[in-house]
Amino acid sequence: MDPQESTEPSDYEYRLKIPGAVDVPELGIRVEAVVVDRGAIPPAERECLLDPAHLPKELVIRNWRAGDRYWPAHSKEEKKVKELLADRHLTGAQKKLWPVALAPDVGLVWVRGFPVPTALRPVDLEGPALWIRVFEQR
């Protein structure tokens, strides 16, 4: 077998402007960063909103890497992403390629399927908020 023809999933990394969108062909998804009015978002979705004042104008969308740590809202402490995904019973390529958003000098600000960190959530109900959404592509 040619060493370059590995069946092992490979790392990916894409720049995502705020606002903007990026395709992640490795997962067949599109990730969008949309600035919305916080009050217009249903309460159940608000734990996915980020305060744009705490973020740069561009994020990095990539798969999680060994050593990545994340502190989702409603949890007592920061955890390794590996542990968070294991708690959800994710395995193999699905686990290896799980998307995260990284802000330089801030760290992980979003992990698909988990609430955003409390420190990065908007405080007020009104005003702009950043919503990172994922769409399946066909």
Tens digit of each residue's pLDDT (9 = 90 or more) over 66-107: 999 999 998 999 999 999 999 999 988 889 999 999 999 999
Domain with 40 in it = 13-136
Domain assignment present for residue 5? The answer is no
* Distances from the Cα of 9 to the Cα of 5, 79, 87, 88, 131, angstroms: 11, 24, 21, 20, 28
Contact predicate 86/94, CB 8 Å:
no
Domain assignment present for residue 25? The answer is yes
Domain assignment present for residue 8? The answer is no
* Distances from the Cα of 121 to the Cα of 49, 86, 125, angstroms: 6, 25, 11
Which positions ≥6 away from 131 have C-beta within 8 Å?
33, 34, 35, 36, 41, 45, 48, 49, 50
Burial class (CB in 10 A: 0-12, 13-18, 19+), 137: exposed
Structurally, the chain folds into a number of domains equal to 1
Domain assignment present for residue 44? The answer is yes
Domain assignment present for residue 51? The answer is yes
Dump pLDDT digits (tens) for 33-54: 999 998 888 887 888 999 999 9
